Homo-oligomer: A and B are copies of this chain.
């Protein structure tokens, strides 16, 4: 089946944002048996949008549109696609009610243009937007399908994953089962190199590595009749990866590191305080995003500059990071204290910025500091500190080796 992605938005044509939506959709199409020949980006202009819609529907069986579903007059996608398919949009009572309720709950007043968001062809499948007000939809006519999704990635990604993928699987008549392994402490090129034979020899499941800041994801995807068969196909390959990378694999089901950390605190029944400098609050922001964190995380402190009351040692030293960890533990009387020292950065003319920081963890009996040698923008350095500090916490709670590889 031939698929096409049409991205609608002047902000894409102007280069104000990068088109991560198209990639997110595209990478899911191929494994489901959809072949994509074209991706097109067009602005919020009636005539050019109409042309793009007609061209796409003439040469592809399935067209996925992103953007242009909002309440303003230049949001034209839904009306234009419906017209090209010979359908017309009318207010759907159920959607009008949902919209009214949303506005009532929030104490906002509705403006007339908001009603546009509740209008669809009567035959459309409406896709719930769990992260915004504009629902998506699927329109079918003459053997073609058009799927319309909102532009903001934080709305599109979950809508696509939860509601569109099952539709595509059914329509494409191809079932996939996958597992997402997450690994920190191993660089992507080293990882890909070490398991190159495994990657090359696998056809079912396939192994796809994705590099993220400070970590690598491996997606194992099996074509199968049922999820159970998929698990059986994936199991030996996953075991080979676990045997190779050991404790560096922190999740085999896509769970975030912060969620793994909160579960690890629960497993070892320990409470935690965090004093962080170089990560500026991001360790606490990550941990507090996990429901139930409040049973284990008792206090977080963002230490700005050199806090001489905590330690007179050089703030860019192992001693200072250890003192921060001890101070965190003592401040709230928790079982564990976790710290991130300040990042010492160095500009390297003609090359990327480098940075060094110490992270540390302390319980009553022992303490451990780890040095991080990092490379990249200040924001990237902060994110690596955050990730590695959480990894140190995870390893401590689960009694795993605390010597984290450098990035």
A312 contacts the other chain (Cβ, under 8 Å)? Answer: no
In the complex with contacts A111-B193, A294-B305, A30-B14 CB distance below 8 A:
yes
Chain B residues within 8 Å of A305, by CB: 294, 298
In the complex with contacts A16-B27, A131-B380, A293-B300 CB distance below 8 A:
no
Chain B nearest Cβ from A237, distance in angstroms: 17
In the complex with contacts A72-B209, A282-B281, A36-B23 CB distance below 8 A:
no
CB pair A289–B132 under 8 Å, yes or no, is no
A43 contacts the other chain (Cβ, under 8 Å)? Answer: yes
CB pair B30–A37 under 8 Å, yes or no, is no
Chain B nearest Cβ from A158, distance in angstroms: 9
CB pair A15–B23 under 8 Å, yes or no, is yes
Considering only CB atoms, which chain B residue lies closest to A377 in the complex? Answer: B131
**In the docked arrangement, what's the CA distance between A377 and B71, Å?**
20
CB pair A19–B23 under 8 Å, yes or no, is yes
Chain B residues within 8 Å of A7, by CB: 39
Chain B residues within 8 Å of A192, by CB: 71-73, 113
CB pair B106–A407 under 8 Å, yes or no, is yes
CB pair A37–B26 under 8 Å, yes or no, is no
A12 contacts the other chain (Cβ, under 8 Å)? Answer: yes
A400 contacts the other chain (Cβ, under 8 Å)? Answer: no
User: Which chain A residues in 49-103 approach chain B with CB under 8 Å?
Assistant: 52, 70-73, 98, 101-102
Q: Can you list 5 A-B contacts with CB-CB less than 8 angstroms, sorted by A residue number? A: A14-B26, A14-B30, A280-B289, A281-B285, A284-B302
